[in-house]
Amino acid sequence: MNLILAIIQPTKLGAVKEALVKLGIQGMTVTGAKGFGRQKGRPMAFLGLLNMEGKPFTVDFVPKVRIEIVVNDEMTDAVVDTIVRTARTDTVGDGKLFVIPVSRAVRIRTGEEDEVALTIEEPATLSEAFS
Ligand SMILES: Nc1ncnc2c1ncn2[C@@H]1O[C@H](COP(=O)(O)OP(=O)(O)OP(=O)(O)O)[C@@H](O)[C@H]1O
Ligand SMILES: [Mg+2]
């Protein structure tokens, strides 16, 4: 199992979610975030190291969205590829993605663990719930 932690442009959240649901992911967590990358929050900083007043540019935080998805090993590459493909605008600040090994997962309601805790619910159980 892996945690896929992606920091993306907020405008891309809807498209990324739709693509991941289509792929069959069973859950995700989304948080508002802010951060900076190598442009230090200033996409034009490459034009010079000093601002108009001759002082160094300050580092600014830029709004981003943080997505967390835990998936089994089998799904990991497909989820990574989908996020990268969908979140890309080919401009600076498109974001970063990290894959982090996860040692344990628990579905709190049932106590089910690991990959079982990440799988889709059996149709039988679902129909019981709605009968
Ligand atoms: N090394 C890092 N660790 C944690 N978060 C990061 C890291 N680098 C970037 N981020 C997060 O990702 C966001 C977007 O980063 P960004 O896409 O600007 O990275 P970059 O390395 O500057 O690439 P680019 O040149 O394409 O802009 C940042 O605002 C920050 O929230
Ligand atoms: Mg950047």
Q: Give one DSSP letter per residue of 32-71, joined into a string.
A: EEEE--TTTT-TTGGG-SB-TTSSBPPP--EEEEEEEEEE
Domains parsed from the chain with CATH numbers: 2-130 (3.30.70.120)
48-67 per-position pLDDT tens digit: 666 777 777 778 899 999 99
Residues with Cβ within 5 Å of ion ligand 2? Answer: 37, 39, 92-93
Type of residue found at 89 = T
Question: Is 12's C-beta closer than 6 angstroms to any atom of ligand 1?
Answer: no
Question: Is 92's C-beta closer than 6 angstroms to any atom of ligand 1?
Answer: yes
Number of H helices, E strands in the chain: 4, 4
8 A C-beta contact, residue 80 and residue 99: yes
Ligand 1 nearest atom to the CA of residue 61, by list position: 29
* C-alpha–C-alpha distance, residues 99 and 45, integer Å: 29
24-37 per-position pLDDT tens digit: 998 999 999 999 99
70: nearest Cα among 104, 36, 38: 104
Nearest ligand, measured from the Cα of 66: 1
pLDDT-based confidence at 39, cuts 50/70/90?
confident
